[in-house]
Amino acid sequence: MSCSPRRVFLITIFLLGISTAALASDFQVAGMVVNAIDGSPVARCQVLIKPDPFGDPRTMSKPMTVITAEDGRFLFSGVAEGKYTMIARRNGFRVQPLNENEGLTSAVVVGPGKDSQNIIFRVQPSASITGRVEDEFGDPVANAQVSIFRRAPLQGKTIAYPRGRTAANDEGVYHFYRQPPGEYFLVVVGRPWYTQFAPYHNSLNDDSSARKLEDGDADLDVAFPLTYYPGTVDVANAMPVRLHPGERFVADIKLNSVPASHFATAKPAPEGSSRVEQSLATTVFSVEMNMDPALRIMRNDKTTDFTGVPPGHYILRHIRPATETPSDEMQQEIDVSSANRVEFRKTTEGTPVTGKIVLEGIDEPLRETMINFDKGDGHILAQAHSTPNGELAPFKLFPGQYFYSAISKQAVIKSFQASGAKVIGRTIEVGTSPVSLTVTMADVAVVIEGTVRSRDGKPICGALVVAIPEDPEHNHNIFRRDQTDTDGAYMLKVVMPGKYMLVAIEDAGDLEWSNVDVMRRFFARGESIQVLPGSDITANIVAQSAKE
């Protein structure tokens, strides 16, 4: 039997394929886990690698876990070529991915010519804040709601943002653990323990009788105002907790009771409405916080009685369910005084908004699309839903400036026009006049990718890459950023057409990457690029150091 040259060629290709497949699983991932504070090796730490969410799991290794040796070293053998997420966990440390920084991580890249055996994994020790919430008599405030705010860069700007909430136990003790080091504020709302034994003060019907007490009797109609650590109601006097890695900070908080107020919502539910959600909120570090300790009692006429309300400035919101059209939204700013008096300062009605979505250059019907409106912090305040014919379901926006963005599986926003409102960049300024939108959507977004190297040409792992748009103030939500992997590669996805400054920064840490005043010093050695619709870009950049 002879073997034709064609058959020999095919067999050779087949054998090469087998050999390549064998080699593809013969890589090693190795390195050392060290304490980020002092660089000491971390023994008995679990290290996991698993396929990167954007990799092809069929050709990559299954998840693997190893435990570091006494010298902190770890080794994975027989790893297939590909991109992996690496995570470490150990008691006393937060669960953390490699080079975690504000939501970004570095992937471990495995393959020919890739250095995956010298990984230094710096793990941050856990820190915690614990304390006791007590009243002016030293009694614990059980079930007090303690909120923690972290002051750190978020979306590239340093702000105090909420990081969690917990309830104090019967002893008034609360814990926030596995916290990264940084600066924190603590805010507490709670109810005096004895108020739960007070009868309901129906002061709305008969104000005079509400606080009529027998001589010498205890006044149980009191409330705790929203209080900041260590026991102040004034945010200006709030004391920050500076939490160091590995620290257990004890922050006891004292609450002082004040006479409570009561009021009824001024606006009943509209005719024909099944219900209107009425909620009471206050603002803490620009974030709305519901006043849970206040009691709400719905009346038959669909107004709501609020009772046990501490004095303060509140936002009273009336929201009709979105299932009922037209949706009805109204908010009132109110001042509640200790004298059981409520002043409705400002009533704001939502401005009606209509509009349509035009799909450009895409030969298929419009699929479900949402247009979101936020204040630049990513917290969506309104959402417009498309209908099958391209119209937007009518909705309301309170007057003010918003950033707009879209959620769509088909396209991105190419242009955004509004009658009755002012559009600058990715912002819209809404007044009291009805607004009509025309949103044109097309497949114009691109990918920018490349490698970040040091000045001597070595790939840099863990560098921050930022694309800063022109007129950043009005284009805050089209900043794009990534962090380089172990081979120095980065990829910026869904980049909108326009002009950008592209920079790569080592040791970025808490850098305010969306603050142009902070970033301007990197522009001179950055790359100015023009993104054209649909044209992907490759851009290799030289890293700059944030420490320079």
Partner 1 sequence: MAIPRAFTYVRLSLRLLFFAVFLLAAILVWPQTFDRIPGNSPSFARVSDSPIYTLQGTVLNSVTNQPVGHALVQVFGQTPRNVFSDSGGHFQFPNLPQMQTTINVIKPGFLQEGKGDTGGKIAQINVGPQISPVIVKLIPEAEIRGKITDKAGEPLDGVPVNLYFFLDQNGVQKKHLYRPTTQTDDAGEFQFTGLPGGDYLLAAGPSWKDLSDPYAPGSLTPFVYPQSFFPGVQKAEAGTVIHISTAQHARANFALPSGRTFAVSGSLVGGSPRNSFLQFVNTSGQEISIVQRREGLEGFRARLSAGPALIKAHSTDQQGNHFYGQSEVDVSSDLRGLRIAMEQVEIPVIVQRESSPAPNEERDAPPSLNLISLDPAHPDTSSQVTGEPGNWNHSINNIEFGRYRVQVNVTPQWYAESVTYGGVNLISEPLVVGPGGSQSIQIRLVRRTK
Q: Tell me which of 25, 101, 117, 128 binds partner 1, using CB under 8 A.
A: 128
Asked if 121 and 90 touch (Cβ cutoff 8 Å), the reply is no
Asked if 88 and 34 touch (Cβ cutoff 8 Å), the reply is no
Report DSSP state, residue 216: T
Instruction: Tell me: does residue 203 bind partner 1 (CB under 8 A).
Output: no
Instruction: Tell me: does residue 169 bind partner 1 (CB under 8 A).
Output: yes
Please give the residues from 172 up to 191 whose contact with partner 1 meets the rule CB under 8 A.
173, 175, 177-178
Q: Least separation, in Å, of the C-beta of 126 and partner 1?
A: 6
Which of 126/427 has CB closer to partner 1? 126
Asked if 515 and 426 touch (Cβ cutoff 8 Å), the reply is no
Pairing between strand 295-298 and 304-309?
antiparallel
Report DSSP state, residue 118: -
Instruction: Tell me: does residue 40 bind partner 1 (CB under 8 A).
Output: no
Distance CA 369, CA 412 (A): 10
* String marking each residue 231-270 x if it binds partner 1 according to CB under 8 A: -----------------x----------------------
Q: Least separation, in Å, of the C-beta of 208 and partner 1?
A: 15
Instruction: Tell me: does residue 202 bind partner 1 (CB under 8 A).
Output: no
Instruction: Tell me: does residue 92 bind partner 1 (CB under 8 A).
Output: yes
Instruction: Tell me: does residue 165 bind partner 1 (CB under 8 A).
Output: no
Cα–Cα distances (Å) from 220 to 172, 191, 338, in that order, read 20, 11, 14
Q: Least separation, in Å, of the C-beta of 50 and partner 1?
A: 7
Q: Least separation, in Å, of the C-beta of 521 and partner 1?
A: 39
Q: Least separation, in Å, of the C-beta of 338 and partner 1?
A: 20
Handedness of CA 454, 460, 464, 470 (dihedral sign): positive
Instruction: Tell me: does residue 91 bind partner 1 (CB under 8 A).
Output: yes
Which of 67/407 has CB closer to partner 1? 67
Per-residue exposure over 357-394, b if at least 16 CB sit within 10 Å of its own CB, e if not = bebeeeeeebeebebbbbebbeeeebebebeeeeebbe
| Number of chain residues interacting with partner 1 (CB under 8 A) | 39
Q: Helix H segments across 205-264?
A: 207-210
- Of the candidates 190, 185, 194, the one whose C-alpha atom is nearest the C-alpha of residue 160 is 185
Instruction: Identify residue 544 by its one-letter amino acid code.
Output: Q
Which of 131/425 has CB closer to partner 1? 131
Q: Tell me which of 36, 37, 46, 259 binds partner 1, using CB under 8 A.
A: 46
- Of the candidates 499, 492, 521, 493, the one whose C-alpha atom is nearest the C-alpha of residue 508 is 521
Which of 215/363 has CB closer to partner 1? 215
Q: Tell me which of 113, 216, 272, 388 binds partner 1, using CB under 8 A.
A: 216
Q: Tell me which of 8, 75, 218, 362 binds partner 1, using CB under 8 A.
A: 218
Beta bridge partner(s), residue 332: 316, 347
Instruction: Tell me: does residue 170 bind partner 1 (CB under 8 A).
Output: yes
Q: Tell me which of 25, 37, 55, 89 binds partner 1, using CB under 8 A.
A: 89
Which of 64/542 has CB closer to partner 1? 64
Q: Least separation, in Å, of the C-beta of 248 and partner 1?
A: 7
Which of 62/455 has CB closer to partner 1? 62
Q: Least separation, in Å, of the C-beta of 162 and partner 1?
A: 20
Distance CA 482, CA 488 (A): 11
Per-residue exposure over 145-157, b if at least 16 CB sit within 10 Å of its own CB, e if not = bbbbbbbbbbbbb
Of 9-17, 151-159, 209-217, 295-303, the window that binds partner 1 (rule: CB under 8 A) is: 209-217
- Of the candidates 240, 261, 376, 238, the one whose C-alpha atom is nearest the C-alpha of residue 313 is 261
Q: Following CA atoms 7, 11, 14, 16 in sequence, which dihedral angle do they give, to the nearest 10 degrees? A: -130
Beta bridge partner(s), residue 482: 465
Of 88-96, 461-469, 471-479, 522-530, the window that binds partner 1 (rule: CB under 8 A) is: 88-96
Q: Tell me which of 106, 124, 126, 227 binds partner 1, using CB under 8 A.
A: 126
Q: Tell me which of 25, 37, 41, 50 binds partner 1, using CB under 8 A.
A: 50
Asked if 155 and 280 touch (Cβ cutoff 8 Å), the reply is no
Instruction: Tell me: does residue 68 bind partner 1 (CB under 8 A).
Output: no
Q: Helices (H) and strands (E) in the chain — how many of each?
A: 3, 45
- 531 three-class SS: strand
Q: Tell me which of 102, 193, 287, 491 binds partner 1, using CB under 8 A.
A: 193
Residue ranges in contact with partner 1 by CB under 8 A: 44, 46, 48, 50, 62-65, 87, 89, 91-92, 95, 126, 128, 130, 137, 139-140, 142, 169-171, 173, 175, 177-178, 193-194, 197-199, 214-218, 220, 248
